[in-house]
Amino acid sequence: MAINLDSLSPSELQALIKTAEAQMESARKNQVQEVRTRIDALLKGAGLSIDEVYPRRGGKGAKGAKAAVAPKYRNPENAAQTWSGRGKRPVWFSAALKKKGVTAESLLIGGSAAKSAPAKKAATKAAKKVARKAPAKKAAKK
């Protein structure tokens, strides 16, 4: 089917383009359906499901699926609202911290806890670093 495009008017070309695009979309849908039919037949013949061949992210059998993190903080005004301490701070957490006398430690599930070991270690390390720098400055001034 050869069409002489040079002899067509702009409106005829536009109509031809629309017809060709509709035909292309129909052919694409048919191609997708044929491929799905072949894949279904292959899976059925092998006794497998699509989920076994291509596990979904976070689904059963997916590699690297992360377990849910236990909540660390609880909203004192609504016990159903919790936060794991990961990601963006929830609005309720930020609003609670603006209130007088409320700290992140006071919002911990299980009550306020003492500072964690990593925080103590970081504070000790910073104090040692300051202590080391102080004598060096005095020696330089002399």
Question: So where are the chain's domains?
Answer: 15-53, 73-141
Averaged pLDDT, 69-93:
89
Report whether pLDDT(82) > 70. yes
DSSP 74: E
pLDDT at 120: 54
**Pick from 55, 95, 87: which is nearest to 69 by CA?**
87
pLDDT digits (tens, 9 = 90+) for 18-64: 999 999 999 999 999 999 999 999 999 999 988 888 888 765 554 55
In terms of Cα–Cα distance, which of 67, 140, 78, 64 is closest to 107?
A: 78
Q: Supply the pLDDT for residue 18.
A: 96
For the stretch 125-134, pLDDT in tens is 666 666 666 5
Which pTM does this prediction carry? 0.37
pLDDT score, position 127: 65
